[in-house]
A and B are shown apart, each in its own frame.
Chain A
Amino acid sequence: MSVIIDEEQCTGCGNCVDSCPYGAIELENNKATVLPNCNLCGVCIDNCPLKAISLERDKESGEKIDLSQYKGVWVIAEHYKQIVHKVAFQLLGKGRELSNLLDSTLTFVILGANFDEKLGDFSEYGMDEIIYVKSPILKDYYSDLYVKVISELIEEHKPEIILIGATPTGRDFAPRVAKRLHAGLTADCTGLDINPETKNLLQTRPTFGGNIMATIRTPFSRPQMATVRPGVFKALKKIKKEVPVKVIDYKFTAKDTVSKIIKIINTSKSTVNLEDAKIIVAGGRGVGSKENFKLIEDLAKALGAEIGGSRITVELNWVDPDRQIGQTGKTVSPKLYIACGISGAVQHIVGMENSDVIVAINKDPNAPIFGFAHYGIVGNLNDIIPLLIEEINKLNLNKE
């Protein structure tokens, strides 16, 4: 496998040289040449205006599997304290779309204890079938038990596509399952689609810190697995529906896990649920000080909103850690997101770009946040926010 440059086509324009994140292309005699440190990432291919670069695969090696045996879309749920993480329902929304495109079925898979009574609620999210694996020990999450059960289920039922939440738990078991089955897994997808010709799953995800999007496919192996961040897709409207449920009473042996949970420590006083907030007012370094964060709080109060912050504000202790939004914090998708004094670094953007309406207040007209905002206000937040609060209070009064 290698990157091939068509020397006839190449004009030595150098676009590929600039585009390569690894510095692995040089111009030699006015022709692009690929150096040994090429990582085959493919960024150069799309950057060549003359389409002179291509990726050449070696002759297919290894045994081929019969892809047609694999059918159906699965969503694997996770839960904590008996509450199912809502990313599973969001994935059912997307899963429905994919299974319709493939003319196949959508299955919801849950491993746990004491969910018998809840199965009726789950059935309202549009799946065709539920598989419920039950055992008292599955009340908590154990990496090795999840990997064992899920791998066995996949080998038995051969689903074509598997969607898992990109949560700390999903990111823990999904790769092990993929490895055990030698299946391709794409992390943190923000887009999923079906190639109309090949029927392959097209998995789009940000790479290089969100600066580039890559669409990944898994053409020669099955299942095609993807993890997806919470908040990227939307759950379907609930519908009353009878769904067949397969309950599997799983008997584990002591050998099945070598790990033991000793205890769970809660490190926070408050429990905020930013993921469910309808409106979020977020402050960044531009707010200036912990005291001045009062402005953000007041605006949030006027709007009935939750407060969020960029990472720096958490590091400066202006905001609680569980209110951090972004790559290493939460992914949110409220109806309204107001970013105050936030520059709009990609690590922040990936956590909030799916909000319905984004408002940015920043004094720097060139701040990247304006590229993501639906409404931008260039100016000093200390002048703007108090007036904005006044205006909103007026509106609230009119409503009453």
Chain B
Amino acid sequence: MKIFVCVKQVPGVSEVKIDPKTNTLVREGILSILNPNDRNAIELALTLKEKYTTEVIALSMGPPQAEEILREALAMGVDKAFLLTDRAFAGADTLATSYTLALAIKKILKESNPEEKYLIICGAQAVDGDTGQVPPELAEELKIPQVAYVLNVELTEKKIIAERKFRAVEIVVIETTLPALISVLNDINEPRYPSIAGIMKAHNLEIVHLDAVALNADTSKIGLNGSSTEVWKIFIPERKGDRVILRGTIEEVIQNLCQNLKDDKVL
């Protein structure tokens, strides 16, 4: 059995702020990080490894710097790491990204044991694009079933039983065949920190680079050429409120508020 974990390097966006004067992003101190949900995906893979005999492989498509997050995955305890990196991959939307990830998974399987069962674990969404579309599209590309927003999973030789979070208060328990893909949110587990020994070990492990040629990729399906969507315009969101701060004593303010709400016909 193999478990593939797809991980992505993202800007630490919760720190991204807009400078109101210049209307530009303030990027100071923004680090590129391992996408938070993907950390949970790694954690799940490693917990499954404690119970079942399996090899855990981390995959990332991104620029050469994405080695950093793969190094982190190795330090957490992942067995092998692959970086899909090529200028030709840039500008990929979710269609092109899932195509490229699928090629790598097929290649890795073909070169070890094509008959081997596998499970792919993804983060439910990445914080930069925040689409959550790559996991289902990857499953579709590989023609395997998928279960999204998984809270818990049991593995057998040929099947998985997964608990899927559904509508905030409901859990659907789904059984499906392997190979399969699951995606996880951040409430599934508490990701481990790499140990010192883990960091030392990861330092010496090789991160295999694969480019478009190594993947034998169809150039019309990768990067921007392989993308159906394109960014047309980017802008800073306008704030909707009128910024009316009510002033005066507490009593005045409350009178004022209630009058306004009556005028607005919401009271």
Tell me how far the C-beta of B203 lies from the nearest C-beta in chain A, rounded to whole angstroms: 22
Chain A residues whose C-beta falls within 8 Å of the C-beta of B260 in the assembled complex: 375
Contact A23 B26 (CB under 8 A): no
Is there a chain A Cβ closer than 8 Å to B266's Cβ?
A: yes
16 residue pairs from A and B, CB less than 8 Å apart: A21-B25, A36-B64, A46-B234, A171-B133, A175-B133, A176-B140, A179-B141, A182-B95, A184-B227, A211-B16, A213-B237, A260-B176, A261-B173, A263-B172, A357-B266, A376-B246
8 Å CB contacts to A: which residues of B220-242?
Answer: 220, 223-225, 227-237, 239-242
Contacting B232 at CB < 8 Å: which of A40, A143, A171, A217?
A217
The 0/1 profile, CB within 8 Å of B marked 1, for residues 334-362 of chain A is 01100000000000000001001111000
Tell me how far the C-beta of B232 lies from the nearest C-beta in chain A, rounded to whole angstroms: 5
Is there a chain B Cβ closer than 8 Å to A293's Cβ?
A: no
Tell me how far the C-beta of A96 lies from the nearest C-beta in chain B, rounded to whole angstroms: 24
Is there a chain A Cβ closer than 8 Å to B137's Cβ?
A: yes
Tell me how far the C-beta of A149 lies from the nearest C-beta in chain B, rounded to whole angstroms: 15
Contact A187 B130 (CB under 8 A): yes
In this complex, how many residues of chain A approach chain B with their Cβ under 8 Å: the count is 110
Please give 7 more A-B residue pairs, beta carbons under 8 A apart, in addition to A1-B224, A168-B165, A188-B130: A21-B13, A36-B64, A42-B231, A186-B131, A208-B127, A208-B130, A221-B228
Contact B130 A207 (CB under 8 A): yes
Chain B residues whose C-beta falls within 8 Å of the C-beta of A378 in the assembled complex: 245
Is there a chain A Cβ closer than 8 Å to B146's Cβ?
A: yes
Chain B residues whose C-beta falls within 8 Å of the C-beta of A374 in the assembled complex: 241-242, 244, 264
Q: Mark the stretch among A122-130, A155-163, A240-248, A382-390 that contacts chain B.
A: A382-390
Is there a chain A Cβ closer than 8 Å to B98's Cβ?
A: yes
Contact B261 A43 (CB under 8 A): no
Is there a chain A Cβ closer than 8 Å to B216's Cβ?
A: no
Tell me how far the C-beta of B129 lies from the nearest C-beta in chain A, rounded to whole angstroms: 6
Chain B residues whose C-beta falls within 8 Å of the C-beta of A219 in the assembled complex: 230
The 0/1 profile, CB within 8 Å of A marked 1, for residues 247-259 of chain B is 0001101110110
8 Å CB contacts to B: which residues of A281-334?
Answer: 303, 321-322, 324, 328-330
8 Å CB contacts to B: which residues of A13-59?
Answer: 15, 18-23, 36-43, 45-47, 55, 57-58
Contact B95 A373 (CB under 8 A): no
The 0/1 profile, CB within 8 Å of A marked 1, for residues 114-151 of chain B is 00000000000001111111111101110001111100
Q: Closest B-chain residue to A216, C-beta based?
A: B229
Is there a chain A Cβ closer than 8 Å to B166's Cβ?
A: yes
Using CB atoms and an 8 Å cutoff, list the residues of chain B in contact with chain A.
11, 13-14, 16-19, 22-27, 30, 32, 63-65, 87, 90-91, 93-95, 98, 127-137, 139-141, 145-149, 161, 163, 165-177, 185, 219-220, 223-225, 227-237, 239-246, 250-251, 253-255, 257-258, 260-262, 264, 266-267
Q: With A1-B90, A262-B173, A267-B169 in contact, do A184 and B229 touch (Cβ < 8 Å)?
A: yes
Docked CA distance A169–B148 (Å) = 9
Chain B residues whose C-beta falls within 8 Å of the C-beta of A174 in the assembled complex: 133, 136
The 3 closest A-B pairs by CB, nearest first: A184-B228, A40-B91, A268-B169
8 Å CB contacts to B: which residues of A132-185?
Answer: 143-144, 147, 167-169, 171-176, 178-180, 182-185
Is there a chain B Cβ closer than 8 Å to A264's Cβ?
A: yes
Q: Closest B-chain residue to A330, C-beta based?
A: B168
The 0/1 profile, CB within 8 Å of B marked 1, for residues 175-204 of chain A is 110111011111110000000000000100
Is there a chain B Cβ closer than 8 Å to A220's Cβ?
A: yes
Is there a chain B Cβ closer than 8 Å to A277's Cβ?
A: no
Is there a chain B Cβ closer than 8 Å to A215's Cβ?
A: yes
Contact A387 B250 (CB under 8 A): yes
Docked CA distance A372–B245 (Å) = 11
Q: Closest B-chain residue to A324, C-beta based?
A: B168
Q: With A42-B231, A182-B228, A387-B250 in contact, do A265 and B130 touch (Cβ < 8 Å)?
A: no
Contact B27 A266 (CB under 8 A): no
Is there a chain B Cβ closer than 8 Å to A209's Cβ?
A: yes
Contacting A61 at CB < 8 Å: which of B64, B168, B225?
B225
Contacting A23 at CB < 8 Å: which of B30, B171, B243?
B30
Contacting B244 at CB < 8 Å: which of A215, A376, A392?
A376
Contact A356 B16 (CB under 8 A): no
Docked CA distance A212–B231 (Å) = 12
Tell me how far the C-beta of B89 lies from the nearest C-beta in chain A, rounded to whole angstroms: 10
Is there a chain B Cβ closer than 8 Å to A120's Cβ?
A: no
Contact A391 B16 (CB under 8 A): no
Tell me how far the C-beta of A181 lies from the nearest C-beta in chain B, rounded to whole angstroms: 10
Chain B residues whose C-beta falls within 8 Å of the C-beta of A46 in the assembled complex: 233-235
Tell me how far the C-beta of B34 lies from the nearest C-beta in chain A, rounded to whole angstroms: 15
Tell me how far the C-beta of A263 lies from the nearest C-beta in chain B, rounded to whole angstroms: 5
Q: With A211-B16, A268-B169 in contact, do A261 and B174 touch (Cβ < 8 Å)?
A: yes
Docked CA distance A391–B253 (Å) = 11
Contact A208 B241 (CB under 8 A): no
Docked CA distance A186–B129 (Å) = 10
Q: With A43-B25, A184-B228, A210-B237 in contact, do A175 and B253 touch (Cβ < 8 Å)?
A: no
Chain A residues whose C-beta falls within 8 Å of the C-beta of B16 in the assembled complex: 21, 208-209, 211-212
Chain A residues whose C-beta falls within 8 Å of the C-beta of B242 in the assembled complex: 374
Tell me how far the C-beta of A290 lies from the nearest C-beta in chain B, rounded to whole angstroms: 20
Q: Closest B-chain residue to A173, C-beta based?
A: B136
Contact A168 B169 (CB under 8 A): no
Chain B residues whose C-beta falls within 8 Å of the C-beta of A206 in the assembled complex: 130, 237
